[in-house]
Structure 1
Amino acid sequence: MMEVDQSTFIPGRHKLSAGESLAPDHSAYGLLHQIGSTWPCLSIDVIKDNLGDNRKSYPATVYAVAGTQAERGKEKENQLMVMKLSSLSRMEKEGEESSSDEDSDDEDENTDPILETKAIPLTSTTNRIRAHQIPDTGSSTTFATTLTASMLENGQVLIHDITPHLTSFDTPGTTITPQQNKPISTIRTHKQNEGYALDWSPLWPDGKLVTGDCRGNIFVTSRNSGGGWVTDTTPFTGHSGSIEELQWSPNEKHVFASGSSDGTVKIWDTRSKSRKSAVSIKVSNTDVNVLSWSHLTPYLLASGHDDGTWSVHDLRQWKPTTTSSTPQPSPVASFSFHKEQITALEWHPTDDSIVLVAAGDNTLTLWDLAVEIDDEESKDTGGVRDVPPQLLFVHYMEQVKEGHWHRQIPGVVVATGGSGFGVFKTISV
C-alpha cells in the first residue's frame, strides 16, 4: 500500500525525497483538469464565447488560443492552436450523491475532458499571444470577430482572424481553407529583433496593438479607415533594457505601461510627439517580467519581477521624474513568497483584491489583498512558516508559464506550462 504524507509541501521551500511525488488535495478544488499537448506553449489566452456569463453548470466548456514551442530543429512543426476544451467535470465531493435537485440540469459530471484543436501552421515559436474581439454587429455567427496577435521568436507579429476556426467547432462539416489560415497582417517593424511584450487595447473596438522587443523599441499598430493595419514606424524609446511587458490602460485610450529588464515601469501617452515616457519608476533591482492593470480600480498596477517578488502600485503616487535622484514612491503592497521568477500576473476580473501569480517554482498562487492580520494572529499560520496571510491558494503545475482568469466562469483559471494545459477552480475563490 502506498504511503501518503499529509503534511503541507511548499514548492521552492521544501524538497521531495527519492521516490516521492506530489498529489493535489482534491477537496480543495471545485474543478481540476490537466490536458497534454504535442508541444508545450509559452503563452495562452482565453476566448470570450456566447455560452453565457456567470455560468456555474457542469461540465464546463472553455475556448482558448495558444502558440507552441517546438524543439530546436523542428520549428516548422510550430502552430497557433485554436482550442475548445469541453467535458470539464467538477470535482466530486466526499459523501455527495451523484445527482441532486440543485444540479439536475447538469450532464454526466464524470466524463473525461475533451480537447479539440484547429491548427494554424507557423514556422517559429510563439513568445506571446493575445486575443481581441470586435463587438458583434448582429451577425448570426457563434463568435464575434476574434483576432489574435502572435509575437514570434523571429521578430514578426502576426494578426490572424480565427473567427471561422472557433465557429467550426460547433458547426459540423465546416472546413478551414488555406486562405483562412493565413495572417491578415504581418508586422515587420521589429525586423529580426525578438520580443515578448504585446497587448490589445480594450478601448479601441476595431483593434489597437502595442508591441515591444528585446532592443527596447515599442511600436503601436492601428486599424485604418479601409480596414487594414498600419504600424507607426517611429518607436517609443527610453528603456535601457528589453521590453518584457506592455499593458494598455483600462480607462485611458491613449495610455499604456511598459515593464523592462532595466527594472523600471514607464507610463506612456501615444499622443506624445517626443515618443518619451511621461512617468518612469524604478520598481525592482531585477527584470520586470509582467504587469497587470486592474480594470476595476484603474490606479492600481501590479508588477512581477525576476527575483520572485511582486508588488502593487498606486499610480496616483507616481509623478513625472526629472532626475535619477528623485525619490521613488513605495508600493502599497509587496510580496517575496516565490523564490523563482514571476512569469504571469493577473487581477481577478470582478474582485480587485484577488490576484493570480505564476512563477518559475512550478506554482500558480492566488492572493487575497483584502486580508489583514494583527501581530497576535501572525504568530499562528497553521504551522507553516514564512507564508503571508494574503496567500490564498497554491496550485502546483510543472513549468507553468502563464495563467488567466476565465471571465465568464467565476473563479476558473486557465494556464499553460511544460506539461500542457491546466484548468482549475478552487473552493476558496
Structure 2
Amino acid sequence: MSKRAVEEDYETSRKNGPSANHSSEDAVDADMGEFEDAWDDEVESEEEEYMEADGADEEEHGQEDIIPEEQQEVWLPGGEIKENENLVVDQSAYEMLHNIQVRWPFLSIDVIPDEFGEERRSWPHRMYLVGGSQAEKTKDNEITVMKLSQLYKTQHDDDDSDASDDSDIEEDPLLEFRSLPVEGSCNRVCAAKPSTNESLIASFHETGKVHIWNVAPQLRSMEQVGMLIPPGANDPVYTVNNHSTEGYALDWSPFESMLLSGDNKGEIYLTKRDASGHWVTDNKPFQGHASSVEDIQWSPTERTVFASCSSDGTFRIWDIRNKNHTPALTVNAHPGVDINVLSWNTKVPYLLATGADDGMWCVWDLRQLKQSTSAATPVASFKWHKAPITSIEWHPNEESVIAVAGADDQVSMWDLSVELDVEEQQVRTSEGMGALPPQLMFVHMGQQHIKELHWHRQIPGVVISTAQSGINVYKSISF
C-alpha cells in the first residue's frame, strides 16, 4: 500500500469519524479547544487555552469507568483487550503530554526553528509549529503557523516538586495561530533553517503545486502584541509549477536556500535562488525511480548530496552536480514493497533509516552498499509495527535513538545501542517482556491514523506527532 493509499484511508476515516471500536482511543481522551476563526489572521493576536490530556474524561465516561489503581494492569502492545476493559494513559510515563484538537486534520507538520535558545530544559516550554490542512472542501484549506506556550511539566499525584506546590503557576497551555489560505489539501509541509528577516516554509499540495512562504511576519505578530500582518504577507513568495502530479517528498537543504520536491510520477525538482536572489526551478528533473517518490532528504554533511525513497522498493543517493540528473547509487532495500519514509542520521552520517509498507523499518550503513539490483542487507531491521510505517526520524542529538510511527496508531522509540546479556534477557522473560525487543524504549498511543512525527531539535526529548485525531506534544521519561 503506497503512501497515497494510506492517505485515502485517512480521508475516509476523517469523514466518517473515529472508529468506535478503536482499542486505544481512550489513551489520550480529553476535550481540547479548537482553533478559532482561521481568517482572523490580520487582527490582534488570538490566544486560546486548551486542556492537558488526562487519559480518562470523567464527564464523558462516568465515574464507573474509572478503574481503581489496584485493578489496573500494564498493557503491552499486541496484548489482548478484554470486554469491559479500556486503555488509559499512564501519566507517570510522561514528563509532558499535551493534545491539540485542530479544525481540519494535518497530514503533515514540522517544527519551525526559533530564537528561544538551544538545549532548552527549563519549564515551561514554548515552540513554533506549522501544519497543512486536509479540509473537506479544497477552498477551505490553509497553512497554519502555531505558537505553543506555557507547556508545563505533567503533574503527577506523587510529584512533590516546588512547581506542583505553587498554586500561582498558570498550568493551562496557550495556543496562538496564524492561517494562510491555500488551494488544495496539503500533502507535506517543511520548514527551512531561519535566516535574517526570513522564515521559509514549503508546502506540497494535491494540486501538484509547491508553494514557498515567508512566515516571518506571522511569527513576529505572535510575539508583538497588536502587530498587524502586512498586506500580501499571506501569499506565497514563489510557486513551483513544474510537477505534473501531486507528491509527498519535500526537504530544505540544511546549508542554503535549496528545496527538493518529488512527485508521484517519480520526478524530483530542485528549486533555489539565482545570483539576483530570485527563486528558480530547474527545468530538468532528477529521474531514476520507477514509481512515486515517497520521501526525500538532504545529506546532513554533504552540501550537494541527497537521498530519496520510492514505492518501487528502492532508495537512491544523488548528487546535484551530476548534470545527467541520474542517481549515484540505487539500493534495492525493500524488494516488492513501498518505501514510505527515510531519515538520515545527523550524528553518524553514513547511517540511513527507511520505513516500508509492510511495517518493517531498517538501518543501512552506506559505506557497505554497492550498486546492485539484488536485495541489499541492512545492519539492523525491526518488524514491530503491524501496519505501514508512516514516519521515521533519528534523534537530533543522540546517535543511537530513533522514533518510528506506524498506521497501527503507535509511535515507538528505540535506542539501538541497547544490548542485553543472557541473564538480563532471562529477567525480562520472567517479567513477561521477553517478546519485546530490548531496544524498544517507549510506545506512545492514543492517536488515530498517525501520519508524521518530529523531534524538537531545541528541546531535548520532546516529540510532536500529527494524526487524524489531532496533534500530540509529549516527552517520555525515557528520553
- The code of the aligned residue for 2:394 comes to W
Structural mapping, 1:302-321, within 5 Å:
302-321=353-372
Compute the displacement of 1:224 (Å): 1.0
The 5 Å alignment of 1:54-133 reads: 54-71=119-136, 74-97=137-160, 99=162, 111-133=171-193
SS at match of 1:181: coil
* TM-score of the pair, normalised by structure 1: 0.91
Deviations 1:155-187 (A, max 9, x none): 100000000001110111112244000000000
Deviation at residue 53 of structure 1 after TM alignment: 1.4
- Do residues 297 (structure 1) and 297 (structure 2) align? no
- In the alignment, which of 44, 47, 55 is matched to residue 112 of structure 2? 47
Distance in 1 (CA, whole Å) between partners of 2:241 and 2:386 is: 37
Question: Offset of 1:289 from its aligned partner?
Answer: 0.6
Q: Structure 1 residues 107 and 221, CA, compared in 2 at 3 Å: closer, same or farther?
A: farther
What SS is found at the alignment partner of 1:127? strand
Is 2:308 the counterpart of 1:258?
yes
Three-state SS of the structure 2 residue aligned to 1:145 is: coil
Hey, what does 2:243 align to over in structure 1?
A: 190
What secondary structure sits across from 1:3 in the alignment? coil
How much has 1:426 moved relative to structure 2?
Answer: 0.8
Bigger drift between 79-88 and 46-55 goes to 46-55
1:122/1:19 CA distance change after superposition, 3 Å: farther
Give the letter for the 2:210 counterpart.
Answer: V
Separation in 1, partners of 2:310, 2:169: 45
Q: Any conservation in 2 of the 1:89–1:109 contact (CA below 8 Å)? A: no
Instruction: Give the deviation of 1:329 after TM superposition.
Output: 3.9
Residue 108 to residue 183, structure 1, CA distance change in 2 (3 Å): farther
- Provide the C-alpha distance between the structure 2 equivalents of 1:236 and 1:99, rounded to a whole number of angstroms: 57
The Cα shift of 1:409 comes to 1.0
How far is the alpha carbon of 1:296 from its aligned partner? Answer: 0.8
Conserved? CA contact 1:133–1:145, under 8 Å:
no
Question: Which digits, 9 at most, give the CA deviation of each residue in 1:101-129, with x for residues without a partner?
Answer: xx99x995552222111000012111010
SS of aligned partner of 2:147: strand
SS where residue 219 of structure 2 aligns? helix
Match for residue 40 of structure 2?
A: none
Residues 298 and 175 of structure 1: CA distance in aligned 2, closer, same or farther (over 3 Å): same
Q: Deviations over 1:192-223 (max 9, x none)?
A: x010001011122xx10111111111111111
Q: In 1, are the aligned partners of 2:217 and 2:230 still within 8 Å (CA)?
A: no
Q: 1:82 to 1:311 in 2, by over 3 A?
A: same
Match of 2:404 in 1: 357
User: Are 1:383 and 2:449 an aligned pair?
Assistant: no
The residue correspondences of 1:2-401 to structure 2 (distance < 5 A) are 2-3=66-67, 6-11=72-77, 13-71=78-136, 74-97=137-160, 99=162, 111-136=171-196, 145-191=198-244, 193-204=245-256, 207-285=257-335, 286-321=337-372, 324-325=373-374, 328-379=375-426, 380-381=428-429, 382-396=431-445, 397-401=447-451
The amino acid of 1:97's aligned partner reads: D
Q: 8 Å contact 1:58–1:109 — kept in the other structure?
A: no
Residue matched to 1:426: 476
SS in 1 for 2:232: helix
- Superposed CA offset, 1:56-104 (max 9, x none): 2222111110101112xx111110000001121101244333526xx99
Label 1:19 to 1:166 Cα distance change in 2 as closer, same or farther (>3 A).
farther
In structure 1, what residue type is equivalent to 2:203? S
Which letter maps to 2:399? D
Tell me, yes or no, if the aligned pair for 1:337 and 1:386 is still in contact at 8 Å: no
Aligned pairs, number: 409
Name structure 1 gaps, 5 residues minimum: 137-143
Which residue in 2 is equivalent to 1:406?
A: 456
Q: Which has the higher strand share?
A: 1
Conserved? CA contact 1:59–1:107, under 8 Å: no
Measure the CA separation in 1 of the matches of 2:199 and 2:392. Answer: 23
Code of the aligned partner of 1:54: E
Cα separation, 1, equivalents of 2:103 and 2:218? 19
Give secondary structure in 1 for the equivalent of 2:139: helix
Asked if the contact 2:113/2:194 (under 8 Å) is kept, the reply is no
Determine the structure 1 residue equivalent to 2:36: none
Task: Identify, as 1 or 2, the structure richer in helix.
Answer: 2
**CA RMSD after TM alignment:** 1.9
Give the CA deviation at 1:334.
0.6
SS in 2 for 1:22: coil
Deviation at 1:50, TM superposition (A): 1.4
Q: Is the Cα–Cα contact under 8 Å of residues 59 and 108 in structure 1 kept in the other structure?
A: no
> Is the Cα contact below 8 Å between 1:159 and 1:185 reproduced in 2?
yes
Which whole-Å CA distance do the structure 1 matches of 2:358 and 2:169 have between them?
41
Distance verdict in 2 for CA 1:34–1:154, change over 3 Å: same
C-alpha distance in structure 1 between counterparts of 2:126 and 2:383, whole Å: 35
